Structure 1
Amino acid sequence: MDTVPLIDVRALVDPTSSPLARREVAARMGAACRNTGFFYVVGHGVDVGLQTRLEVLARDFFARPEEEKQRVRMALGGRAWRGFFPVGGELTSGRPDRKEGLYFGTELPPDDPRVRAGTPLHGPNLFPLEPEGLGGAVLAYMAALTSLGHSLMSGIALSLDLEADFFATRYMADPTVLFRIFNYPPGPEVDAQGLPVWGVGEHTDYGVLTILKQDDAGGLQVKTRQDGQTRWVDAPPVEDAFVCNIGDMLDRMTRGVYRSTPHRVLNRAGRDRLSLPFFFDPDWTAEVRAIDSPALKDAGADDHAERWDRQSVHRFEGTYGDYLLGKVGKVFPDLRAEVL
């Protein structure tokens, strides 16, 4: 908690808040983005009952037999990239993660122009028939976090001395919204070769902002840099708080001043761990460029030599869709042909 700050963001969520109160919250967010790239948020206004209902339904789904879960497997989602994958079905840096999951995104009908054009990662969701109500809870939760995402991005904009609606009007008028529900089963911490068995290995997120709900099992670790040294610290669960972190595209936009921070998961709880990351990212067709702001006059260093993948986000040119497609094919090699 000394490394990952906790920020009350109600001034950003409440439209009656004063400009001064919003800027005070924005300043704290900006400091967190510069120092760790991670922060907790409370005062977010997301209904606790909705969060609890979604968690209960998600646990019900993952407790079901494998053959039942496979009825909504990702292979049936095609180019929309939605549905269930089993433990070991997702890779990080070429190694299978010890987690299973459900992939969701913005619900689009078959006659939506993007769906008719075959745009990857766009389309309808694959909702299981059981447990009843899971699909509705997912859509309600995604709507609530989309609203929260816009509020948090207004704070990030203010922290960069930009207008509060900078991201909403220029990059996220029609955001790419992706939502995952992951279940990390318990198991050994090392494999037969003595290598760690990560729930998910070291990585950075691809987009702009991730809003994570985690249960009380713990296991999230964040890579920090202090006095020229790097070390891993825990980001433990905090009651009614979301963990937020910034991704590669905000790193790109801010010239490395706001840094996308590597993180990983190791489930030591001896029981299932439930994690619900919500990715609030740029429009699919948005050209991602560096932002022109006095707050960014002292650009950060290009840290590609230190990154887990040795890739430079600052050399990327193109749309967010281009960047995302270059990543997802590595995560699910078997589905790569569906989107690339």
Structure 2
Amino acid sequence: MEVPIIDIAPLVDKSQKSSQVAAKIGQACREYGFFYITGHRVDKSLQAKLVELSRKFFALSLENKMKIKMLNGGIAWRGYFPCGEELTSGKPDVKEGIYFGEELDDENELVRQKIPLHGKNLFPELLPEFSSVVLDYMSSILQVGHVVLEGIAISLGLDKDYFYERYTRQPLQLFRIFNYPATKLDKNSSMWGVGEHTDYGLLTILKQDNCGGLQVKLKTEWIDVPPIDDSFVCNIGDMLDRMTGGLYRSTLHRVKCQTRADRLSFPFFFDPNFFVQVKKIDGLEEQKDDRNQRWDLESVHEFQGTYGQYLLKKVSKVFPQLKDNVLI
């Protein structure tokens, strides 16, 4: 089994072949929950610059990296964390990283209201180019997210703007840059770069470096999702699972610890607006509840409230030492 590769150029160009691409995306969502995309038109030089500056950042001393530590980001939930501070299912991940989001200044109404996960990003003073490159990259990937969701909408027999009109006119944007340090482990080690989990939102768009390590669980088998040049890996989040009544499942995945080199990873989480209530799409048949097979043993179909409330409960478990900053 191999995760399918889909050229989304017809969707980007709004050509007559868009429906054919949408059908391929729909099949991938039903059978894998994961797929590669090519033909996305994200500038290669921008991607290369992002990788270059990220490597420079993680090569800084811990003292310099901690100048933008997450505690300094407050309720905006931005900044750097060192290895071992982020948890998956209660276990420390073997990775360090930086959290980013939509850049909002102090005069923004959501910031004035002190809404969690909204605010300014933290950038290292020693790398003055970093801010513009990160924000330009986020802007490019945001457009890719809108295009892919149009394809998903068409695959479900919906108007192409279904998600935009209801959930993503002003999406919650969560961007991460992770560094998985080279780690020599014995064969019996239970340590993982990231443990088994599903993503919380609508759609994740991942840029990988050339090291590999990502794995996806299909039925009872774990398969590798190796890097492919100038592609992104897309996967379904819990909210799309909820909207489709389980027709499009959020798929379990993990990251192996690497032994030969540091691994960079760039996941962009394209999520519903913080204040919306995520509802099942009318007319889709409810699938069998899979809570007993899920990593967290929780149903994505039963919670009541806004997406923001759902997300805050989740992220407070990822960084328990910071949860007082974001819970409302």
Q: What is the TM-score when the length of structure 2 is the normalising length?
A: 0.98
Question: Would you say 1:10 and 2:20 are equivalent positions?
Answer: no
Equivalent of 2:290 in 299, 303, 307? 303
CA distance in 2 between partners of 1:126 and 1:190 (Å): 37
Contact 1:190 1:196 in 2 (8 A): no
Contact 1:248 1:260 in 2 (8 A): yes
CA distance in 1 between partners of 2:113 and 2:295 (Å): 35
Give the AA of the match of 1:250. Answer: L
CA distance in 2 between partners of 1:130 and 1:280 (Å): 29
Question: Would you say 1:31 and 2:27 are equivalent positions?
Answer: yes
CA distance in 2 between partners of 1:13 and 1:326 (Å): 35
Partner SS state of residue 264, structure 2: strand
Partner SS state of residue 240, structure 1: coil
CA distance in 2 between partners of 1:25 and 1:170 (Å): 23
Contact 2:176 2:267 in 1 (8 A): yes
Equivalent of 1:246 in 221, 226, 236? 236
| Sequence identity percentage | 56
For residue 204 of structure 2, what is the aligned residue in structure 1?
A: 210
Q: Can you list the C-alpha shifts for 1:3-56, whole angstroms capped at 9, x where unaligned?
A: 3100000011114x12xx111000000000001100000000100000000000
Partner SS state of residue 177, structure 2: strand
Matches within 5 A, 1:147-162: 147-162=143-158
For residue 224 of structure 1, what is the aligned residue in structure 2?
A: 218
For residue 102 of structure 2, what is the aligned residue in structure 1?
A: 106
Partner SS state of residue 316, structure 1: coil
Q: Can you list the C-alpha shifts for 1:137-176, whole angstroms capped at 9, x where unaligned?
A: 0000000001110000000000000000110111111000
CA distance in 2 between partners of 1:11 and 1:181 (Å): 29
CA distance in 2 between partners of 1:187 and 1:173 (Å): 41
Q: Can you list the C-alpha shifts for 1:96-139, whole angstroms capped at 9, x where unaligned?
A: 00000000000001011110111000000001112220111000
Greater Cα shift, 245-254 or 125-134:
125-134
Q: Which structure 2 segments of 5+ residues have no match?
A: none
Equivalent of 1:338 in 313, 321, 325? 325
- Cα offset for 1:268? 2.9
Matches within 5 A, 1:1-340: 2-15=1-14, 17-18=15-16, 21-190=17-186, 194-225=188-219, 230-293=220-283, 296-297=284-285, 299-340=286-327
Q: Which structure 1 segments of 5+ residues have no match?
A: none
Q: How many residues align?
A: 327
Q: What is the TM-score when the length of structure 1 is the normalising length?
A: 0.94
Alpha-carbon RMSD = 1.1
CA distance in 2 between partners of 1:317 and 1:42 (Å): 36
Give the AA of the match of 2:314. Answer: K
- Cα offset for 1:269? 4.4
Contact 1:219 1:265 in 2 (8 A): yes
Contact 1:171 1:283 in 2 (8 A): yes
Give the AA of the match of 1:244. Answer: C
Partner SS state of residue 149, structure 1: helix
CA distance in 2 between partners of 1:325 and 1:170 (Å): 21
